[in-house]
Amino acid sequence: MKSLEDIMAMAQNVQAELSKAQENLDTIEVEGASGGGLVKVRASAKGRIIGIHIDDSLLNPSEKGMLEDLLAAAFNDARAKADAQSHEAMSKMTSGLPLPPGFKLPF
């Protein structure tokens, strides 16, 4: 078994690596779409919205309700993809750590 100092040093290294990984998440871009691509939302894997594209065909006052629904769906799609990218990046970071089953990071 490792000494307490070794365990603490390992924990500090893990924390530093996780902080670095969290910062890198803002550089990964995902795109959520709805309505067959009529509405697109670009976001970072950290969840920051980068841009929105709305097809001109939806810019009709009678289509307001549908546009609102499509925007919500595109945001949700982008959020799901961002979460997946974030989870994948964090899984890579913690894959070599001797963590007990079910243990989640960050603490």
28 pLDDT higher than 80: yes
From residue 83, alpha-carbon distances to 6, 72, 101 in Å are 32, 16, 21
The model carries a pTM of 0.63
One-letter amino acid identity for 73? A
Domain ranges of the chain: 26-94
102 pLDDT higher than 70: no
Is residue 77 within 8 A of residue 41, CB to CB? The reply is yes
The pLDDT of 52-66, averaged and rounded, is 90
What is residue 32's predicted lDDT score, i.e. its pLDDT?
93
pLDDT digits (tens, 9 = 90+) for 81-95: 988 888 887 777 667
What is residue 107's predicted lDDT score, i.e. its pLDDT?
45
10 pLDDT higher than 70: yes
Is residue 46 within 8 A of residue 22, CB to CB? The reply is yes
Q: Which CATH number fits domain 26-94: 3.30.460.20, 3.30.1310.10, 3.40.50.920, 3.20.20.70?
A: 3.30.1310.10
